[in-house]
A and B are shown apart, each in its own frame.
Chain A
Amino acid sequence: DAGVTQSPTHLIKTRGQQVTLRCSPISGHKSVSWYQQVLGQGPQFIFQYYEKEERGRGNFPDRFSARQFPNYSSELNVNALLLGDSALYLCASTATTGAIMNTEAFFGQGTRLTVV
């Protein structure tokens, strides 16, 4: 079975540009979460989507947005990129949300975004 897949693996953007990152969850998983991991820090929660609805949002500005598609894949969009947005963006998939979600979160390899 394929695990969580993310694309692209690496990306270089200029300040002010917009970027879209993509994630395909494990087959059968309906929930996708996004995390930002800045170099030298632990991952920080950005969003969780379940059944195409936003179920949770972390402390990130409105420049960050996401959506989930009928096939449960997800996109993370970041507008007006800043140097500080440079990070590894991780996608995690789980079978459900809520109480069960935290028991089995599977992470993808991440997308390394560099803003110059």
Chain B
Amino acid sequence: AQSVTQLDSQVPVFEEAPVELRCNYSSSVSVYLFWYVQYPNQGLQLLLKYLSGSTLVKSINGFEAEFNKSQTSFHLRKPSVHISDTAEYFCAVGGVNDYKLSFGAGTTVTVRA
């Protein structure tokens, strides 16, 4: 079984400032790691994923996350946020050969002008 801990429930940040959302996981098997974003009253959208290979993965809208196996972490970063990045962000883990995803409790990012 896997579990995910998102260390920050709310992160307020000013526009154009950097942001980091922390995610730690536990698992007894090899895993795939994901970050999803949820805008108000919407479903989940995949932001980025780590499957294998390079430990640094990037999204098309400037987010990046780094898989750290020794620290069992998959923190999400963006060097300069926009108002439109205001949303809830979920870290998720899926065991290789597993059929489900386990999600963290989410981090609400509020970007202020």
Contacts and interface: CB of A to CB of B under 8 A. Distances in A.
Interface of A: 4, 33, 35, 40-45, 48, 55-56, 58, 90, 92, 97-99, 101-110
Which 5 A-B residue pairings sit nearest by Cβ, starting from the closest? A42-B103, A102-B94, A56-B99, A45-B100, A107-B44
Contact of B106 (A42, A44, A99, A101): A42
Secondary structure at the A interface, as helix, strand, loop or mixed, is mixed
B109 to A, nearest CB: 15
Contacts of A104: 46
Given A103-B49, A107-B44, A43 B96 contact: no
B83 interface: no
Interface of B: 4, 32, 36, 42-46, 49, 51, 90, 92, 94-106
B51 A33 contact: no
Contacts of A102: 32, 94-96, 98, 101
Contacts of B32: 102-103
A21 to B, nearest CB: 13
15 contacts: A41-B105, A42-B4, A43-B44, A43-B90, A43-B101, A45-B100, A48-B100, A58-B100, A90-B43, A98-B99, A101-B98, A102-B95, A105-B101, A106-B46, A108-B43
